[in-house]
């Protein structure tokens, strides 16, 4: 089963020095934090805030290549969580065929936001994610940590 | 594409000479090593280029690996990348793609930063060119300090 999720925020995690993308489902009952690197975080934040740069950034290029070829991003799916690494797939349609391509969730989300494509998460990942670690981490979260990106 | 194209190879990625600079410099040279083209890139793009130069295969596909995988799966071939222009110290590049069906005339062209184009070229083993026009516009005062460094130092661990 897949649950559609939306990018609700982007935060900095001072403990790991990484950025966290917050995905939530429509009813706000499920939440999935995904740790991403700095360049991918800025790629996601630019798309969230509708910032356009004078020159195409890497994920803009990704989208322009697909657009130019006539390929369309149907959806992206966070498919799995193995040893603290999230896995995702980008689903494309091109010339009457469908393709799915392995990606990091950060790249997949950065591309989905630019393509207005929905983001889904495998329920299996949501369950795996509700671990003790996560609960402890969430307890320490303050609303202001969500900063200006919180929607 | 008008005008002559000069084929370049990536010699290495170096830190910027300015201390605390967020930039890195990709050094490209033609076969005869008479023309050197330094291109300033961001840290992320510099890393993407360095990893490809060192043939490092990361456990998960990085952004440019994903672009290569996307194009490969769709049957698109990246035939070449060209550094086409320089305006106000900003370099412009084009990525040339061919789909399985299309002949040479229907080659697709996509505007790109040179850093992305180079990162992609190294991953797809496609040639990198620069227009003679861009080489002609290289100001010697910009290049000479780099040539001096090139003469005195290795390119780090990348060659």
- Beta carbons of B115 and B41 less than 8 angstroms apart: yes
Q: Quick one: pLDDT at residue B159?
A: 36
Query: Residue A44's pLDDT band (boundaries 50, 70, 90)?
Result: very high
List of chain A residues whose C-beta atoms are within 8 Å of the C-beta of residue B62:
104, 107
Instruction: Give dist(CA A82, CA B60) in Å, integer.
Output: 12
Is the model more confident about A151 or about B42? Answer: B42
Q: Quick one: pLDDT at residue A150?
A: 43
Which stretch of DSSP H or E encloses residue A34?
A: strand A31-36
Of the residues A35, A58, A91, the best mutation for testing chain B's interface (the one with the most B CB atoms within 10 Å of its CB) is: A58
Q: Quick one: pLDDT at residue A17?
A: 83
* pTM for the model: 0.87
Query: Residue A127's pLDDT band (boundaries 50, 70, 90)?
Result: confident
- Beta carbons of B38 and B143 less than 8 angstroms apart: yes
Query: Residue A120's pLDDT band (boundaries 50, 70, 90)?
Result: very high
CA distance A58 to chain B (A): 6
Q: Quick one: pLDDT at residue B104?
A: 53
Number of CB atoms found within 10 A of residue A109's CB: 28
Judge whether residue A151 has pLDDT over 50.
no
What would the DSSP string read from start to end of B134-148?
A: HHHT--HHHHHHHHH
- Give chain A's mean pLDDT: 89
A34-48 average pLDDT score: 94
Instruction: Give dist(CA B84, CA A46) in Å, integer.
Output: 26
Q: Quick one: pLDDT at residue B44?
A: 93
CA distance B120 to chain A (A): 10
Cα angle vertex B80, ends B106, B77, to 5°? 60
Count Cα neighbours of A49 within 13 Å in the Cβ-side half-sphere: 14
Query: Residue A131's pLDDT band (boundaries 50, 70, 90)?
Result: low
Q: Quick one: pLDDT at residue B157?
A: 42
* pLDDT digit string, tens, across residues A3-28: 999 999 999 988 888 899 999 999 98
Per-residue pLDDT of chain B (159 residues; tens, 9 = 90+): 557 999 999 999 998 877 778 889 999 999 999 899 999 999 999 999 999 999 999 999 999 999 999 999 999 999 999 999 999 889 999 999 998 775 555 789 999 999 999 999 999 999 999 999 999 887 665 566 656 665 555 554 443
List of chain A residues whose C-beta atoms are within 8 Å of the C-beta of residue B99:
69
- Sign for the CA dihedral angle at A58, B125, B2, B138 comes to positive
- Complex ipTM, two decimals? 0.87
Q: Report CB contact under 8 Å: B70, A101.
A: yes
Distances (CA, A) of A123 to A118, A138, B109: 16, 20, 40
Ramachandran bin of A11, using left for φ above 0, alpha for ψ from -120 to 50, beta for the remaining angles: beta
């Amino acid at each position: 089963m897949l649950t559609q999720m939306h990018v609700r925020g982007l935060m900095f995690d001072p403990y790991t020095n990484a950025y966290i993308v917050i995905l939530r489902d429509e009813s706000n009952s499920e939440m999935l934090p995904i740790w991403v690197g700095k360049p991918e975080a800025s790629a996601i934040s630019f798309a969230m805030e509708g910032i356009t740069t004078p020159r195409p950034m890497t994920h803009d290029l990704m989208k322009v290549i697909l657009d130019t070829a006539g390929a369309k991003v149907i959806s992206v799916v966070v498919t799995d969580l193995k040893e603290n690494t999230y896995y995702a797939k980008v689903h494309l349609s091109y010339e009457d065929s469908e393709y799915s391509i392995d990606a990091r969730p950060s790249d997949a989300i950065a591309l989905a936001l630019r393509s207005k494509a929905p983001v889904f998460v495998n329920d299996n990942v949501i369950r795996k994610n509700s671990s003790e670690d996560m609960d402890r981490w969430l307890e320490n979260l303050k609303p202001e940590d969500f900063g200006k990106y919180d929607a | 594409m008008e005008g002559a194209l000069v084929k370049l190879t990536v010699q290495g990625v170096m830190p910027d000479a300015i201390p605390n600079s967020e930039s890195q410099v990709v050094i490209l040279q033609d076969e005869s090593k008479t023309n050197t083209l330094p291109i300033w890139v961001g840290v992320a793009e510099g890393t993407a280029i360095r990893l490809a130069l060192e043939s490092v295969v990361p456990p998960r596909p990085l952004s440019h690996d994903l672009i290569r995988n996307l194009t490969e799966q769709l049957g698109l071939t990246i035939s070449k990348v060209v550094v086409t222009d320089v305006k106000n110290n900003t370099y412009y590049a084009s990525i040339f793609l061919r789909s399985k069906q299309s002949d040479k005339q229907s080659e697709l062209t996509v505007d790109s930063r040179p850093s992305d184009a180079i990162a992609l070229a190294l991953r797809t083993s496609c040639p990198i060119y620069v227009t003679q026009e861009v080489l002609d516009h290289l100001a010697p005062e910009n290049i000479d300090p780099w040539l001096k460094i090139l003469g005195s130092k290795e390119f780090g661990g990348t060659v």
